[in-house]
Amino acid sequence: IMADDKDVLRDVWFGRIPTCFTLNQDEVTEREAEAYYLLLPRVSYLTLVTDKVKKHFLKVMRTEDVEEMWFEYEGTPLKWHYPIGVLFDLHASNSVLPWSITVHFKNFPDRDLLHCPSSSVIEAHFMSSIKEADALKHKSQVVNDMQKKDHKQLWMGLQNDKFDQFWAMNRKLMEYPTEEGGFRYIPFRIYQAMSDRPFIQKLFRPVSPEGNAYTLGDLLKEMYPAAITNDGEQKRYQVVIHGIEPLLETPLQWLSEHLSHPDNFLHICVVPTPSD
Amino acid sequence: MSGCALNEKEFFSCCQLLLQQSEHLRDGWSWEAVQGSEEGYLRKTVLRSVLADCYDAQKQTETASDSVSPVSAHPIQELQQQERTQPVVATCFHSDGIIGDDGDEDDAVCVLSEGSSHVLQYEYHILYSCSYSAPVLYFRAFTLEGRSLTLEDVWSSVHPNFRHCLQNSPLTAITQQEHPLLGQPFFMLHPCRTEEFMRPVLQEAQEQPRPVNYVLLWLSVVGPVVGLDVPLKYCTQLHLSSLQHSASDLMSSTVETGVRRFARKTCK
């Protein structure tokens, strides 16, 4: 039995990843640092939800040894501007929980990571994604019709983990003219762990010229055919959204309305099937 | 061209045209293709020398003073700080070591002044944004030792006339972004207002009976904001036959219009 669509929205919003933060061995400390455990919201951003992590490790460090905090998983610097759930699905989806992240306060890898000097940078990035998504869905008409306080409500909803506050405004971004059958284009990004290219993002309509709804499978066939298993082949890749593998027959429009992140993008991770 | 939006095929054609002219003018642009598809971007690297004194002074002051613009494509830049009265020089030369030729009026002059100079490597990329149907300018800069320039460093290289406008308008501001094809941090001029300020520029250009290179026109408006000059010779190359108005007149008038409108839009 399919859960109500509204339940899906709540499940997406309240998804959590149990995480264990450990201080990088090479950091200079005054005494040994204990690991710090935290449940991370899938839909938020690392630098937005790790103030407690920072406070915890600063207790054992001298201020002169502390620069901009950054995170790393098994040698890979973690991009704070990607939603947490995307980072997990992309790098650690088939590993044992809790997710083990290493914390650094030195040697910021500025060739790999964007700087994040304050939460206003996170807000700017988040709002920029929302605006880009609306440019694709509605030629920016809905987001431009909103007032500054409406934009603020979207950000505050995310920052303070307020589902109702967020969706009171976000539902406007999920509307479309009934005669169109869907958005103009679907905001999506496809991530592949083993690729030079950070993601694939192109124009894709949710409805065919004949009026048929395109599916997740149709999107992948067009954008990343290697992700689709042909008949008789062994399944090489998993297509993961919010930690689950939706059926490839799922209509893309439905996915966009229900499984997008708060930034209004559908983030799709293609990861190798684990070999047992 | 559909209105003032640019589709990806048009972007590709405009880039190839620009590339041909660049090769002729030895302006240093190259096309980086993605996996043998038509997808790709234009790229150019420029070396600039900046005087150590003004560069370090930049780092020391919290708020960048409007008068200092040490990194510029113009050969001579006057510093209006209290300490300096004599002109100082930022020479602009291309990565192959040849002194840049910005047109007959601006001969690159080599005047040595006091203090040692830093050489910075600027890298400019022009990509296509399918979300905004517009070209987007990405750039980054390093010292020769490989240190990345910060956003503060970069602001100091923005022409003072634009700095005030851009800082007040986050949507057209310079922000750090992930390069969509390389995955590395770059600075970007936000594209969401491009269609707005290109519209009147294009309309004016389209009233003349000649083809317009959207990417070239756009670049001549936004490039100078971040120290990237587009020599007028690009335009004169297009038209070998004599016409009622010289192509460079058209170029400079449309660029001027474009710059004025760009500044007006960003100062809203």
Residues of B carrying an active site annotation: 192
In chain A, DSSP finds a helix count (H) and a strand count (E) of: 10, 8
Does residue A140 sit at the B interface (CB-CB below 8 Å)? yes
Rounded Cα distance between B46 and B26, Å, is 12
- CATH label, A177-276, candidates 3.40.250.10, 3.90.79.10, 3.40.50.300, 3.10.20.90: 3.10.20.90
Per-residue pLDDT, A148: 95
Comparing C-alpha atoms, which of B134, B179, B172, B192 is closest to residue A134?
Answer: B192
- Do A15-104 and A177-276 show the same overall fold? yes
Decide the pairing of beta strands B40-51 and B92-94: antiparallel
Domain ranges in chain A? 15-104, 118-175, 177-276
Has domain A118-175 been given CATH number 1.10.246.190?
yes
**DSSP 8-class letter at A17:** E
- Tell which wins on pLDDT, A230 or A87: A87
User: Model confidence over A40-60: pLDDT tens digits?
Assistant: 999 999 999 999 999 999 999
Query: Cis link prior to A274 (omega < 30° from 0)?
Result: no
With helix as H, strand as E and coil as C, how does A196-237 read? CCCCECCCCCCECCCCCECEHHHHHHHHCHHHCCCCCCCCCE
A76: pLDDT strictly greater than 50: yes
Per-residue pLDDT, B258: 62
Q: Which residues of B touch A110 (CB under 8 A)?
A: 148, 185
A172: pLDDT strictly greater than 70: yes
ipTM here: 0.94
Question: Tens digit of pLDDT per residue, chain B (268 long)?
Answer: 445 788 999 999 999 999 999 999 999 999 999 887 789 999 999 998 765 444 443 444 333 333 333 333 332 232 223 233 333 333 333 333 333 344 333 333 333 444 456 788 999 999 999 999 999 999 999 988 888 988 888 877 777 777 766 666 655 578 899 999 999 999 998 887 777 778 887 887 777 766 788 999 899 888 888 888 888 888 765 543 333 344 445 555 555 666 666 656 554 4
Q: Which residues of B touch A131 (CB under 8 A)?
A: 171, 192
What is the CB-side half-sphere exposure of residue A62 using CA atoms within 13 A?
5
- Tell which wins on pLDDT, B205 or A103: A103
CA distance A36 to chain B (A): 29
How many Cβ atoms sit within 10 Å of the Cβ of residue A43? 24
A115: pLDDT strictly greater than 80: yes
Rounded Cα distance between A82 and A191, Å, is 11
Rounded Cα distance between B114 and B112, Å, is 7
Place of tokens 């429009």: A253
Determine whether the interchain pair A198/B190 forms a contact, defined as Cβ–Cβ distance below 8 Å: no
Rounded Cα distance between B243 and B240, Å, is 9
Per-residue pLDDT, B58: 41
How many Cβ atoms sit within 10 Å of the Cβ of residue A223? 17
Q: Chain B interface, mutation test: which of A67, A127, A203, A265, most B Cβ atoms within 10 Å?
A: A203
Q: Chain A interface, mutation test: which of B7, B32, B129, B131, most A Cβ atoms within 10 Å?
A: B131
Does residue A151 sit at the B interface (CB-CB below 8 Å)? no
A35: pLDDT strictly greater than 50: yes
Estimate to the nearest angstrom the gap between the alpha carbon of A219 and the chain centroid. 19
Q: Which residues of A touch B130 (CB under 8 A)?
A: 201-203
- CATH label, A15-104, candidates 3.10.20.620, 3.30.70.1230, 1.10.8.60, 3.40.190.10: 3.10.20.620
Decide the pairing of beta strands A266-272 and A188-192: parallel
What's the whole-model pTM score?
0.82
Rounded Cα distance between B181 and A265, Å, is 18
Determine whether the interchain pair B185/A111 forms a contact, defined as Cβ–Cβ distance below 8 Å: yes
Handedness of CA B89, B95, B97, B101 (dihedral sign): negative
Does residue A113 sit at the B interface (CB-CB below 8 Å)? yes
Determine whether the interchain pair A128/B190 forms a contact, defined as Cβ–Cβ distance below 8 Å: yes
